[in-house]
């Protein structure tokens, strides 16, 4: 994995999670800008997934390939699922769901870095 890309994913995901946590604390609903920030995180996650697949095809093999791919699949699906929930549930809890989704992506990315370090 490219460390700079992973660090960017982690940083942007944590910033988005912090923002949505603040919204939840203030009992505010997420707006389009919030979903736009999460879309940026999702774009970065998709780029990271493509890069990871290319690196795997080129011969990079971490010890836990199945876990690595599972973490990638989960990271790719987490934010769209959280965003769908947030759009459907227009309550304070929608911001909490987005916070959890952002934190989940950050943690999954850290874990993927740890697994890739065994390659």
54: which 2 tokens? Answer: 């290319």
pLDDT tens readout for residues 41-81: 999 999 999 999 999 899 878 888 999 999 999 999 999 99
pLDDT tens digits for range 80-92: 999 999 889 888 8
pLDDT at 2: 87
Q: Residue 79, class by beta-carbon neighbours within 10 Å (0-12 exposed, 13-18 middle, 19+ buried)? A: buried
Q: Specify the pTM.
A: 0.91
The two three-digit tokens of residue 95, written as one number: 């911001």
CA 29 to chain centre: 20
Distance, CA of 69 to CA of 63 (rounded, Å): 12
- Name the CA dihedral angle for 103, 105, 111, 116, rounded to a multiple of 10 degrees: -150
């Amino acid at each position: 994995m490219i460390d700079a890309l992973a660090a960017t994913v982690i940083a942007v995901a944590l910033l988005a999670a912090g923002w949505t946590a603040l919204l939840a604390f203030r009992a505010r609903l997420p707006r389009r800008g919030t979903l736009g920030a999460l879309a940026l995180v999702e774009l970065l996650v998709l780029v990271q997934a493509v890069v990871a697949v290319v690196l795997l095809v080129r011969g990079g093999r971490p010890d836990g390939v199945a876990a690595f791919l599972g973490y990638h699949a989960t990271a790719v699906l987490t934010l769209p699922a959280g965003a769908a929930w947030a759009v459907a549930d227009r309550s304070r809890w929608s911001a909490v769901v987005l916070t959890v989704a952002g934190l989940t992506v950050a943690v999954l990315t850290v874990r993927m870095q740890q697994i890739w370090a065994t390659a």
